[in-house]
A and B are shown apart, each in its own frame.
Chain A
């Protein structure tokens, strides 16, 4: 699978991070961030984003599989 990198810091992203960006920017987004940069960009905490990831998984969102 093609590796995706954070557009801010260049870190290679995990599956959860790319899936979260799709959920928050739209499924066709080309904008991907790592959790730290995403939290900074969205002005929220990293914990908020981790909770979102957990909730999406519990809802059965297959982007996170």
Chain B
């Protein structure tokens, strides 16, 4: 038995995306930036992929910049915004439950003299817009709040937060890595100036992603070199992965409602089965969260032990804590949600995807039940 229930970590590469990638690796391998005729097809593919991806998030094609993934996109958005104003000792505002790609980018900028303001979240993982309003000041240059959290699934009120940022003339970035391809993402409705995404989170290949940068926003290049990506992100274009990403995203967007309903049904079945089997648990996160992402705490149990026990039964999930011999290290997200130590220690994350089935759900619950017989 092999059950993959860690789709928030990565997703299976879509077979059609893989097929679409192959010609650009084996036959049409020319450098898209060259001027000879061999480069024409890769150049066309690059432009078409950019248009396709832009359409999926209601952006313009020139607003899409290909990167190596979500981490690079987050680094670029935050560091370049701060570095452009370094002599003014800029302030960066972010939330306590961001991905490390954001938090560590902020920490790196702090080492260069920037100040960093970390917004708290409530017990459900939601940022209070009033907190942002209160913390913005003259030196604030960029605000970065994730669209959906990777550990508990909470979806943030991005439109409200972006409006607050804009009312003070600040740049607003959102890390939408966990959301793109899974819930509707419309950059115009969200109002974000920049948005990060990563292909492997929506059944695309690993090592490729994009940063949406609103037209007119000045953003310094993060990787210097050649003139690729409108002279803003250097490096020979990874056509195969870019094409694979576009195919995967388009496919997920076309089937968005169907996939969401399927995953939501599995999620509801899972929660019902937990109850039916009398497995005591607490669910973390907000009601307004990503479909299929289930953060569960088993008070008094060890999340890492459950993780390994399920692994031995062929089930891949994730945990919110890790044993460090003498003590348990709890994730920064669970800490920010003010979970008691006992509850945080017993936390696991199950993230169901479009390929999961009701049989998978029954098998996971049966496996969890075995952990409770001890």
Interface residues of A (CB under 8 A from B): 23-27, 31, 42-44, 48-49, 52, 61-63
8 smallest beta-carbon distances between A and B, as pairs: A26-B302, A62-B325, A44-B312, A26-B305, A63-B325, A24-B308, A24-B305, A42-B312
Q: Please name 23 pairs of A and B residues whose Cβ atoms are closer than 8 Å in the assembled complex, sorted by A.
A: A23-B304, A23-B308, A23-B323, A24-B305, A24-B309, A24-B312, A25-B302, A25-B305, A25-B374, A26-B301, A27-B323, A42-B309, A42-B313, A44-B313, A48-B312, A49-B312, A52-B312, A61-B325, A62-B324, A62-B325, A62-B326, A63-B323, A63-B325
B3 in the interface, Cβ–Cβ < 8 Å?
Answer: no
Query: For B374, what are the chain A residues with a Cβ–Cβ distance below 8 Å?
Result: 25, 31
Specify the chain A residue showing the minimal Cβ separation from B314.
Answer: A44
- Determine if B312 and A23 form an interchain contact, defined as CB atoms under 8 angstroms apart: no
- B-side interface mostly: mixed
- Can you list, as one digit per residue, whether each of B296-331 has a CB less than 8 Å from chain A (1) or not (0)? 000001101100110011000000000111101000
Residues of B in contact, count (CB < 8 Å): 14
Query: For A43, what are the chain B residues with a Cβ–Cβ distance below 8 Å?
Result: 313
Interface residues of B (CB under 8 A from A): 301-302, 304-305, 308-309, 312-313, 323-326, 328, 374
Task: Determine the distance from Cα of A11 to Cα of B263 in the docked complex, in whole angstroms.
Answer: 47
Task: Determine the distance from Cα of A26 to Cα of B308 in the docked complex, in whole angstroms.
Answer: 10
Specify the chain A residue showing the minimal Cβ separation from B300.
Answer: A26
Chain A nearest CB from B91 CB (Å) reads 37
Task: Determine the distance from Cα of A61 to Cα of B325 in the docked complex, in whole angstroms.
Answer: 6
Give the most central of B301, B312, B328: most A CB within 10 Å.
B312
Task: Determine the distance from Cα of A49 to Cα of B312 in the docked complex, in whole angstroms.
Answer: 8
Query: For B328, what are the chain A residues with a Cβ–Cβ distance below 8 Å?
Result: 27
Query: For A42, what are the chain B residues with a Cβ–Cβ distance below 8 Å?
Result: 309, 312-313
Query: For B301, what are the chain A residues with a Cβ–Cβ distance below 8 Å?
Result: 26
Task: Determine the distance from Cα of A52 to Cα of B304 in the docked complex, in whole angstroms.
Answer: 13
- Determine if B308 and A61 form an interchain contact, defined as CB atoms under 8 angstroms apart: no
Query: For A44, what are the chain B residues with a Cβ–Cβ distance below 8 Å?
Result: 312-313
